[in-house]
A and B are shown apart, each in its own frame.
Chain A
């Protein structure tokens, strides 16, 4: 419903809604039929007239220098229309910038630092012809020694990934108080070291781009989470003005952070298309997506935690080692250790190193699920040592603001997540239940979490009410499968009273839609929905002005519902029957997202509760049930909210139990080259019951819709909760993720002996 400007939800923003009519309801998506019937056209599905297909030649060695590439034979192969090697136009485009923005490589760099790095590319009439041409490219490699184990990267004599060594910048970290003093003040101290494997996004739709030049205008259909981000990077790479590059991403088959940025294959497609004078499609193979378009870096995390007898934390320390592979990437996170619990003495130290492996990228809460796996197991161990319920230890240390940034939170639902979750889960009863003495052991565990990014508030939206009372919404936001289109249309329906089925959404096209930051970082709704609401409110004001004149009523006395204006006396006039609207043809509202509330942080929180059954003979873990309690502010659509919570949990199970990129440290070769070896959870792995409980603190300050982020906080605590449940069930602490049967069997055997 309408809102007046107030300082509550940011300068100039309208008040958040009270009761809502459309927002929050469990409504099926407006694009459900396209997705269910296969009519949705993903980039992978696109065919343009005269389109060529491209393929990339990749270095078969973990570390090598390309001495010579001979493309002559390949260029003469049947169907080949363009070839590109390390000496070709554009090959020297700078790539992989370090923390200072200095490039560490180039598009086709003679120094290949991981198995699968790009060496050359070919475009041909058919994909088979392109692949056959690649086999005819002669490459002379100087094979160099490689290091792929991050724990060996800093050893004396380790092969150097880059000439200046294997450190990705200096050790960095954060400190408040005095960690050692805090440990000395503690009645109990624990220290543990976790290791988590590298995981890979592998969205169902492979990374794919179709590039098409019309003169100097380049249009790229890209399977991306952020059309404006890709446009900016692509224009910079090609030296083009932003206005010459158009990026479109109507349907994306999953991203999870792996499609937030420009990828090499997109530039290669554009360069080949320019060379051939024809559109070019470059779709990666599944194996390529496991090699070269990002991953969640492996971590080794050592946590030290100390607390007094009453549970008050006195010290938290983190020593983090991680690798973003061969190129700069943030590999570890100090967010949870610094901010999840109130603690006076904290110190973190991060070593990010290089190895000869595929580069890291943002992956659903970068660095945070591994950190939760470490911190939340340490909290459990500390509770055990102090003889406290793990729930009580957490409740004793609730934060009210970010201690690392010195800012209060607009709201923190963490306490409610823990308390209401414990009640709904039956925590105390389940914990007290005796462990089975047989081979099947049951246990419960919990873990808390938070997310640290408040979003990029620069978003604009256009809402247009048309003469027949239908409406369009124009936004640059990509719907990566979370229901963005539907949720944003619900906001329009809420304000204009236009039925959802009469609202069309045009989105994710830099040529025709308004700026929006990438759909990632759990920011999509909280950044875009306020902009959409502002645009809809502008239309509403104009519409009510027209209606008030025609109906001889005060604008404030009119309601908008069911595609009609309704007077206080109950008279209904359909929008299409308003003469003023017909005369104007359309009413346009431009909405900008208000800035964040000054001096405060709006962040989401979560707590997950898990019950598992462990077969101590086989090490098989079965998740019996999981309750995800989420403070993500307002639930915008109960159906898609629930769905996204399920997705976060299932992906958390993958991280915790099955997913592992495997490299052969002897050769540097990738061994997990498909989903047969890189194991995603299936319908059989998801528990029969994933319950969810939203905790809405009715945050009136975070933004004008009252929603906080969801995608990442729904994923962060899962694996840690399962780990704590495994410990409760078996008495062993599973410090390595994924917690596979062989690892658990070994742990259990060690515990018995």
Chain B
């Protein structure tokens, strides 16, 4: 019954490779220059230049076309507040805002978001300049281990950006893409309500 197996059944190479191919299509709407660049055949490890606008700052970077935004944020820029949970779009731990809308950084290629406004937890929640959402998460104890929390905060920021005063049901639906294995959901939902209420009272 002996047979050869090179173990590639467990490699993500095929998956990553297919995303790399897909990048050409994703790049097309961004402009002829970018599309032409992506249309060149690139060797593994070859990089392309991109400028990413992250938390109001421009970063000129050489990235491999297959790199996810999550990889670039964490491994290239050291912005580890954005967390990898599953790296396949199932948990929301890596939620960031792209032009104000929530997005899984693990399913977003870095080359795909050139010219877009990228906001991460580091740009939103700082102890010296707490956003209403971050402050509400602290006050309501809306976390346990804290690993999914930056993603929860970003999901809440995105939700309140598109719907400043959501109903409880909207909040549950809006936060349902972010798993919390510790099960802190009741406090998370309260924190989002609190943040919404404090914006109603505090800001025009």
A44 CB-CB contact with B under 8 Å:
yes
A416 to B134, CA, bound (A): 38
Which A residues are in CB contact (< 8 Å) with B74?
45
Q: Could you tell me if A44 and B1 are in contact, using CB atoms closer than 8 angstroms? A: no
Which B residues are in CB contact (< 8 Å) with A642?
141, 187
- Across the interface, B81 reaches (CB within 8 A) one of A37, A67, A483, A644, namely A37
Q: Could you tell me if A45 and B80 are in contact, using CB atoms closer than 8 angstroms? A: yes
Answer whether A60 and B10 are a contact pair too, CB < 8 Å, given A204-B181, A286-B88: yes
- Across the interface, A675 reaches (CB within 8 A) one of B75, B81, B91, B171, namely B91
Which A residues are in CB contact (< 8 Å) with B185?
646, 650, 681-683, 686
Which B residues are in CB contact (< 8 Å) with A138?
4, 6
A135 to B6, CA, bound (A): 6
A292 to B175, CA, bound (A): 30
Q: Could you tell me if A137 and B7 are in contact, using CB atoms closer than 8 angstroms? A: yes
- Interface majority SS (helix, strand, loop, mixed), chain B: loop
A642 to B147, CA, bound (A): 19
Task: Looking at the assembled complex, report how far the CB atom of B70 sits from the nearest CB atom of chain A, in whole angstroms.
Answer: 12
* Residue from the set B82, B171, B178, B181 with the largest chain A CB neighbour count within 10 Å: B181
A39 to B173, CA, bound (A): 27
Which A residues are in CB contact (< 8 Å) with B176?
682-684
Which A residues are in CB contact (< 8 Å) with B121?
37-38
Count of chain A residues near B, Cβ 8 A: 76
Which B residues are in CB contact (< 8 Å) with A680?
179, 181
Answer whether A37 and B125 are a contact pair too, CB < 8 Å, given A252-B145, A253-B146, A646-B185: yes
A190 CB-CB contact with B under 8 Å:
no
* Residue from the set A33, A60, A138, A139 with the largest chain B CB neighbour count within 10 Å: A33
Q: Could you tell me if B138 and A28 are in contact, using CB atoms closer than 8 angstroms? A: yes
- Across the interface, B146 reaches (CB within 8 A) one of A141, A481, A684, namely A481
A135 to B120, CA, bound (A): 34
A573 CB-CB contact with B under 8 Å:
no
Task: Looking at the assembled complex, report how far the CB atom of A723 sits from the nearest CB atom of chain B, in whole angstroms.
Answer: 19
Which A residues are in CB contact (< 8 Å) with B148?
204, 253
Per the 8 Å Cβ criterion, residues 104-139 of A in contact with B are: 119, 128, 131-132, 134-139
A370 CB-CB contact with B under 8 Å:
no
Which A residues are in CB contact (< 8 Å) with B93?
204
Answer whether A481 and B182 are a contact pair too, CB < 8 Å, given A36-B125, A140-B2, A253-B147: yes
Name which of B11-19, B25-33, B48-56, B108-116 contacts chain A: B11-19
Which A residues are in CB contact (< 8 Å) with B147?
42, 203-205, 251, 253-254
A652 to B54, CA, bound (A): 40
A57 CB-CB contact with B under 8 Å:
yes
Q: Could you tell me if B90 and A482 are in contact, using CB atoms closer than 8 angstroms? A: no
A202 to B180, CA, bound (A): 10
A325 to B63, CA, bound (A): 43
- Across the interface, B85 reaches (CB within 8 A) one of A36, A204, A480, namely A204
Q: Could you tell me if B86 and A131 are in contact, using CB atoms closer than 8 angstroms? A: no
Q: Could you tell me if A690 and B186 are in contact, using CB atoms closer than 8 angstroms? A: yes
Q: Could you tell me if A686 and B125 are in contact, using CB atoms closer than 8 angstroms? A: no
B172 CB-CB contact with A under 8 Å:
yes
Answer whether A204 and B179 are a contact pair too, CB < 8 Å, given A38-B122, A643-B184, A644-B144: yes
Q: Could you tell me if B186 and A646 are in contact, using CB atoms closer than 8 angstroms? A: yes
Q: Could you tell me if A35 and B183 are in contact, using CB atoms closer than 8 angstroms? A: no
Task: Return the chain B residue nearest A684 by Cβ.
Answer: B176
B97 CB-CB contact with A under 8 Å:
no
A674 CB-CB contact with B under 8 Å:
yes
Answer whether A651 and B13 are a contact pair too, CB < 8 Å, given A140-B2, A142-B2, A203-B145: no
Q: Could you tell me if A38 and B141 are in contact, using CB atoms closer than 8 angstroms? A: no
Q: Could you tell me if A28 and B139 are in contact, using CB atoms closer than 8 angstroms? A: yes
A47 CB-CB contact with B under 8 Å:
yes
Task: Looking at the assembled complex, report how far the CB atom of B19 sits from the nearest CB atom of chain A, in whole angstroms.
Answer: 12
B65 CB-CB contact with A under 8 Å:
no
B202 CB-CB contact with A under 8 Å:
no
Q: Could you tell me if A139 and B146 are in contact, using CB atoms closer than 8 angstroms? A: no
Task: Return the chain B residue nearest A253 by Cβ.
Answer: B147
Complex interface bits, B137-178 against A, C-beta within 8 A gives 1, otherwise 0: 111011111111110010000000000000010011101111
Answer whether A32 and B91 are a contact pair too, CB < 8 Å, given A286-B85, A647-B144: no
Per the 8 Å Cβ criterion, residues 24-48 of B in contact with A are: 44-45
B204 CB-CB contact with A under 8 Å:
no
Q: Could you tell me if B183 and A36 are in contact, using CB atoms closer than 8 angstroms? A: no
Task: Return the chain A residue nearest B139 by Cβ.
Answer: A28
A201 to B83, CA, bound (A): 18
Which B residues are in CB contact (< 8 Å) with A38?
80-83, 120-122, 125, 149-150
Which A residues are in CB contact (< 8 Å) with B146?
31, 34-36, 40, 251, 253, 481
Which A residues are in CB contact (< 8 Å) with B180?
204, 683
A2 CB-CB contact with B under 8 Å:
no
Per the 8 Å Cβ criterion, residues 78-132 of B in contact with A are: 78, 80-88, 90-91, 93, 120-122, 125-127
- Across the interface, B7 reaches (CB within 8 A) one of A42, A134, A646, A651, namely A134
Q: Could you tell me if A132 and B82 are in contact, using CB atoms closer than 8 angstroms? A: no
Q: Could you tell me if A643 and B144 are in contact, using CB atoms closer than 8 angstroms? A: yes
A621 CB-CB contact with B under 8 Å:
no
- Across the interface, B187 reaches (CB within 8 A) one of A60, A131, A144, A646, namely A646
Which B residues are in CB contact (< 8 Å) with A640?
141
- Across the interface, B153 reaches (CB within 8 A) one of A28, A36, A131, A650, namely A36
- Across the interface, A651 reaches (CB within 8 A) one of B134, B172, B183, namely B183
Q: Could you tell me if B144 and A141 are in contact, using CB atoms closer than 8 angstroms? A: no
Q: Could you tell me if B10 and A134 are in contact, using CB atoms closer than 8 angstroms? A: yes
A37 to B125, CA, bound (A): 5
Task: Looking at the assembled complex, report how far the CB atom of A411 sits from the nearest CB atom of chain B, in whole angstroms.
Answer: 27
Q: Could you tell me if B3 and A33 are in contact, using CB atoms closer than 8 angstroms? A: no
Complex interface bits, A215-257 against B, C-beta within 8 A gives 1, otherwise 0: 0000000000000000000000000000000000001111010
A132 to B12, CA, bound (A): 9
B201 CB-CB contact with A under 8 Å:
no
Q: Could you tell me if A44 and B83 are in contact, using CB atoms closer than 8 angstroms? A: yes
Answer whether A647 and B184 are a contact pair too, CB < 8 Å, given A134-B11, A137-B7: yes
A649 to B184, CA, bound (A): 10
Which B residues are in CB contact (< 8 Å) with A60?
5, 7, 9-10
- Across the interface, B188 reaches (CB within 8 A) one of A29, A33, A67, A683, namely A683
Task: Looking at the assembled complex, report how far the CB atom of A497 sits from the nearest CB atom of chain B, in whole angstroms.
Answer: 24
Which A residues are in CB contact (< 8 Å) with B137?
32, 36
Q: Could you tell me if A674 and B13 are in contact, using CB atoms closer than 8 angstroms? A: no
Answer whether A203 and B8 are a contact pair too, CB < 8 Å, given A34-B146, A131-B13, A676-B90: no
Task: Looking at the assembled complex, report how far the CB atom of A86 sits from the nearest CB atom of chain B, in whole angstroms.
Answer: 13
Question: 12 pairs across A/B with beta carbons < 8 Å?
Answer: A36-B137, A36-B153, A38-B81, A131-B13, A137-B6, A143-B1, A202-B181, A203-B145, A204-B181, A646-B185, A682-B185, A688-B172
Q: Known A-B contacts: A28-B139, A651-B181. Give 20 more (CB < 8 A).
A: A35-B149, A36-B142, A36-B150, A38-B121, A128-B16, A131-B11, A132-B13, A135-B7, A139-B7, A203-B145, A205-B145, A253-B83, A286-B87, A481-B146, A643-B187, A648-B183, A680-B179, A680-B181, A682-B179, A683-B189
The 3 closest A-B pairs by CB, nearest first: A38-B81, A35-B146, A650-B183
